[in-house]
Structure 1
Amino acid sequence: MPRAVYLLGLAIFAQGTSELMLAGLLPEIASDLDVSIPAAGLLISAFAVGMLVGAPILAVTTLRWSRRAAMLSFLTIFALTHVAGALTTSYGVLLATRVAGAFVYAGFWAVASVTAIELAGPEARAKAMSILAGGLTVATIIGLPAGTLLGQHLGWRSAFWAVALLSTLSMAGIMATIPRGRSESVPQLRLELRNMANPQLWLAYATTALSTGAILVIFSYLAPLLTETTGLSDGWVPLVLALYGVGALIGITISGRNADRRPFSTLALSLTGVIVAAVVLALTTGIPWLAVPAIIAVGTFGFASNPAVNSRVFSVAGSAPTLAAAFNISAFNVGITVGPWLGGLALDAGAGYPSVGWIGAGLGVLAVGTIPLAIRAARSGDVRERELDDRLVGRASGS
């Protein structure tokens, strides 16, 4: 695997730390800016909205840029938004910087995905994507608790300065390893847009959104679930979150080595594991020695689905991967937004924290249901391609 792929993973780690760290900084931000905790929580929602719209817009806007220039531009803006966030005393300005930072982060994800795939080659798509997404997984294990510790001891602004520094270091890595100039295959907007009509892509997006929602509906409420229902003290929460992250890293690493050869079976196994783990969690939220392993299993199997989904999108996208990758980033953020929203509705209705496990299992079942549809669509697509090839060969031999 080229060294540049690992450095792209480092850039995702830097930006992913920013995505996650606010969950541990809300009390400090709310107190410092004199806003309520729910208002501070909107900073997390703003980040998700920025990512949702940023990926396709920036993918089209920078389609004919060199990928190196696009990624360096995105990282520069991302670092500057964190400098501005660290310096401001205005909640409104901080909110705007979160949207802007997420906007370019989504664009970076889209371009970095295509770059990593191109560098790794078609036989190692899933492995390259597992390294890229592994940066976000490591951010869960290291970045989230580190950002929280910085915020608690040096103030929340110090965490923003740290992300700006990490982003700058990532820029140096990209400048050193990603070649100048455009890729040999310059994307064409008309071809990219035409490719978006492929139903196989939209099935892959549905799998992405549903599988992500199944994980996030559980992950978003882990802290109160552990303290209010499972009965663990606050001190256990960081440890369980770290174990969840370790499980996620194991899952994404193993899956990345197998998803290129067996994408559908890897996806089916991963999602089945999520369903089983979510059901066990729903049934045992009050039993720590069962609930905690179930939570770790959700992370392990949930992240194991990531390389398979990404590999599928790129295999279907063919010669028009940029916009397809961008919409897959948006699909991830649909799941990130909808999963916690469904969990919030259930909790507001008084269903209790076991309900997030049941919702996660339900979304997992829906995600599994997209797999046979995707297999059927893939076979139909292969048949149509063979028929077209036969016609072309026939015409050539006739002439």
Structure 2
Amino acid sequence: MTASPAVATPALSRGHYTLVLLALALGFFAIGTSEFAPIGLLPSLTAGLAISEQQVGHIISAYALGVVVGAPLLAITCARLRRKPMLLALLALYVAGSVATALAPGYHSMVVARFVVGLPHGAFFGVAALVAATITPAQNRGKVVGQVFSGLTVALLLGNPLATWLGQALSWRLAFWFVALVLVLTMALIAWLLPDDRSENPARPLAELKAFNRAPVWLALAIGAIGFAGMFCVFSYLAPAMTEVAGLSERWIPFGMVAFGVGAFIGAQAGGWLFDKFGLRAIAIILGWSLLVLLAFGWAAHSPWLVLPAAALVGTMMAMSPALQLHLMDVAGEAQTLAAACNHSAFNFANALGPWLGGMAVAAGASWSVIGPVGAATALAGLGIWWLAARVQAWRFPHGG
């Protein structure tokens, strides 16, 4: 296995260190709430902006496109910044995009605002994970990165239901004002708590690009882009699977989302722990587990008693996120910032691929339960890519160092 990047642990008290991690997790919470809010706000957006459901889909796609484009672009553009100023700059851009979203008067301005707000998403997640790993002893970095990623899963559990409630009870615009407010608080906490290491060597954009363009990095990103697609396949179509296959009423859909969120929270913690213990093999373990739970979901979706536990098990696939983030830190060399940011571009590719494959299968006449086996096929493909990545890494580092 490759050596992990040098870890310098600043002299932080235990309380100070915990507050820094909470500030980073708060950023994950706010951005996760913003990312998935339009799904729960779909009826409010269609009524408030006088647009169709398909146009809300375009708004969601605009955000994903912003993530894919913005992650590498901003990672290179801001490469010479130290990590603390970079985090603050990325958060400031996200606040501006959130305010623009809350004020958007119509469809076209909303599409532009959501594209802009997606731009800093991947770079912030990547740099925040690097910061968490840097201030943590090497043997604990997986657990700590998983804890920071738990802010994203808390967004699924609490943030998105709150955003949906605000949209239904008052106005969808308040949901995005809420996101902007939480991000301003995050900026204040990071500015106050996170040490600014002025001895930190700024990244060199050309060196990052050269180090990035290597097989281990691209294979790691491919694992996320393909192997993670199954989770999004099930999550995107969980509602019709619950109502049209399991036979549950629509009032059960929020419980399905909560079940998925609980599983995702557990998975985020487990992924970091698994990587601390097993390194690259942890990714194969997670992909194997994903294959099993996705196949099980295809069977359990037919039962009103089993579909919710099955949704929770699919949510545990979130373990892939911190594990793959840490693997990229190990193989990226001088491309730490760029690779960490592009990890989230890969996951957004998976977010597009999974629903597309599942939708094609249903359009061909299959039941909604097919999303489980379709997702399992992507996990199996991810295992194949992992096998190739492991062979490349063993060839490059035959003695494990």
Q: What is the TM-score of this pair, normalised by structure 1?
A: 0.92
* Further displaced range: 114-123 or 291-300: 114-123
Partner of residue 321, structure 1: 336
How far did 1:55 drift? 0.5
Partner of residue 48, structure 2: 32
The counterpart of 2:196, out of the listed 166, 171, 180, is: 180
Superposed, which structure 2 residues align to 1:41-52 within 5 Å? 41-52=57-68
Contact 2:301–2:310 (Cα < 8 Å) also in 1: no
Superposed, which structure 2 residues align to 1:179-218 within 5 Å? 179-180=195-196, 182=198, 184-218=200-234
Change (3 A) 1:85 1:306: closer
Partner of residue 88, structure 1: 104
How far did 1:197 drift? 2.7
Gapped regions of structure 2 (runs ≥ 5):
1-13
After TM superposition, what 4+ stretches of structure 1 lie above 6 angstroms from structure 2?
none
How far did 1:183 drift? 5.4
Contact 1:260–1:311 (Cα < 8 Å) also in 2: no
CA deviation vs aligned residue, 1:291-312 (integer Å, no higher than 9, x gap)? 2222211111x11222221111
Partner of residue 141, structure 1: 157
| Structure with the larger helix share | 1
Task: Verify: 1:366 aligned to 2:381, yes or no.
Answer: yes
Contact 2:122–2:343 (Cα < 8 Å) also in 1: no
How far did 1:339 drift? 1.0
Distance 2:277 2:333 in 1: 17
Partner of residue 3, structure 2: none
Partner of residue 110, structure 1: 126
Contact 1:67–1:182 (Cα < 8 Å) also in 2: no
How far did 1:316 drift? 0.8
Task: Verify: 1:165 aligned to 2:152, yes or no.
Answer: no
Distance 1:116 1:303 in 2: 18
Distance 1:110 1:100 in 2: 18
Distance 2:287 2:108 in 1: 40
Distance 1:234 1:253 in 2: 30
Contact 1:280–1:291 (Cα < 8 Å) also in 2: no
Distance 2:25 2:76 in 1: 23
Partner of residue 19, structure 1: 35
Partner of residue 76, structure 2: 60
Partner of residue 351, structure 1: 366
Contact 1:5–1:119 (Cα < 8 Å) also in 2: no
Aligned residues with identical type, % of pairs: 37
Distance 2:149 2:23 in 1: 12
Contact 1:8–1:174 (Cα < 8 Å) also in 2: yes
The counterpart of 1:270, out of the listed 257, 265, 286, is: 286
* Further displaced range: 313-322 or 53-62: 313-322
* Further displaced range: 175-184 or 155-164: 175-184
Contact 1:278–1:360 (Cα < 8 Å) also in 2: yes
Larger Rg: 1
Distance 2:286 2:230 in 1: 12
CA deviation vs aligned residue, 1:329-360 (integer Å, no higher than 9, x gap)? 21111111111111122222222211211110
Contact 1:273–1:297 (Cα < 8 Å) also in 2: no
Contact 2:101–2:113 (Cα < 8 Å) also in 1: yes
How far did 1:91 drift? 1.5
CA deviation vs aligned residue, 1:27-85 (integer Å, no higher than 9, x gap)? 11111111111111211111110001100000000000122222212212212222222
Gapped regions of structure 1 (runs ≥ 5):
387-399
SS of match in other structure, 1:180: coil
Letter in 2 for 1:130: G
Distance 1:385 1:231 in 2: 52
Letter in 2 for 1:122: A
Q: What is the TM-score of this pair, normalised by structure 2?
A: 0.91
The counterpart of 1:250, out of the listed 266, 278, 292, is: 266
Letter in 2 for 1:55: A
How far did 1:182 drift? 4.2
How far did 1:121 drift? 4.1
The counterpart of 2:314, out of the listed 292, 298, 321, is: 298
